[in-house]
Amino acid sequence: MTERVALITGGARGIGRAIALDLGAKQWSIAICYRSSKQEAQETKQAIEKFGGRALAICCDVSDPDAAHNLVHQVENTWGHIDVLINGAGPYHRVHLFEETPGGWADMLHNNLNPVLYLAQAVAPGMQTRKYGRIISFGMANADKMEAQPFVTGHYIAKAGVLILTRTLAKLLAPEGITVNAISPGFIDSGSAPPGELDGMEKKIPAGYIGELSDTTSAVRYLLSDEARYVTGANLQISGGWGI
């Protein structure tokens, strides 16, 4: 395909932004959606355009099914199709389970898991028509272990759900030439962690250091490549051995 189009949720900051810039530098057309990071979204859009790529920055709450579908239709109406969906949006907070509020609990599930389904439902028809597509969702290193997580329970449950949903979508869409995979980062210096959270983590990571944004963009680049055309339903851990 001569023109490649990617929709990246959470593309204004952190890992999502790094992916948007990486693909934008290769002249992909990039649509990023954001909910509150308007300035960062505009800066990311401008950076992509400086590379010579096309970019959209769209404010959207993808936890709303109608809004998620409208987002997809807006991008398709603008550029004709979507080749790649990257689910990068998803809040995170640390709170003891017995101190969690109904609102905080709902936010973790509604914003980390539900958009993966809503957006897949919206992009699948176009991808099925073209017999091509790539969907990548971000999980969490060790979410596949189903361990007790007293301080990140809602987030952990949502990310475990992302893995189940990834495998289910992969099985359903494989006959249509569409791959669906997950990337599960460990500790990545993305600029989004609260101050001090990464301090001292090196000693807990077998590789001995905190991951960089380039570690995630390289993984995305592989899963989008023709070399990964037979890879679907996978969960690629980017963690330096943490969480395994």
- Model pLDDT for residues 198-221, shown as the tens digit of each residue: 777 888 899 999 999 999 999 999
pLDDT of residue 195: 57
Global confidence as pTM: 0.94
pLDDT digits (tens, 9 = 90+) for 50-79: 999 899 999 999 999 999 999 999 999 999
Mean pLDDT, the chain, rounded, equals 94
Distance CA 84, CA 63 (A): 19
The pLDDT of residue 193 is above 70 = no
CB 220 within 8 A of CB 175: no
**Alpha-helical segments (H) within 25-145:** 38-50, 65-79, 102-112, 114-130
Averaged pLDDT, 40-53: 94
CA 87 vs CA 29, 175, 181, 227: distances in Å: 16, 22, 11, 21
Say if residues 184 and 156 touch (Cβ distance below 8 Å): no
Q: How far apart, in Å, are the Cα atoms of 193 and each of 15, 94, 186?
A: 11, 11, 12
Q: What is the pLDDT of residue 191?
A: 75
Report yes or no: 169 and 180 within 8 Å, Cβ to Cβ.
yes
The domains found in the chain, sorted by start residue, are: 5-238 (3.40.50.720)
pLDDT of 18 higher than 60: yes
pLDDT at 1: 46
Residues marked as catalytic: 156
Percent of the chain past pLDDT 70, that is, above it, reads 97
Q: Are 210 and 198 in contact (CB under 8 A)?
A: yes
**Distance (Å, whole) CA 82 – CA 121:** 13
Q: Which has the closest alpha carbon to 170: 134, 122, 126?
A: 134
- What pLDDT score was predicted for residue 199? 72
Residue 186's contacts (CB-CB under 8 Å, 6 or more residues apart) are 141, 142, 205, 211, 237, 238, 239, 240, 242, 243
Top-confidence residue, 1 or 92: 92
pLDDT digits (tens, 9 = 90+) for 74-88: 999 999 999 999 999
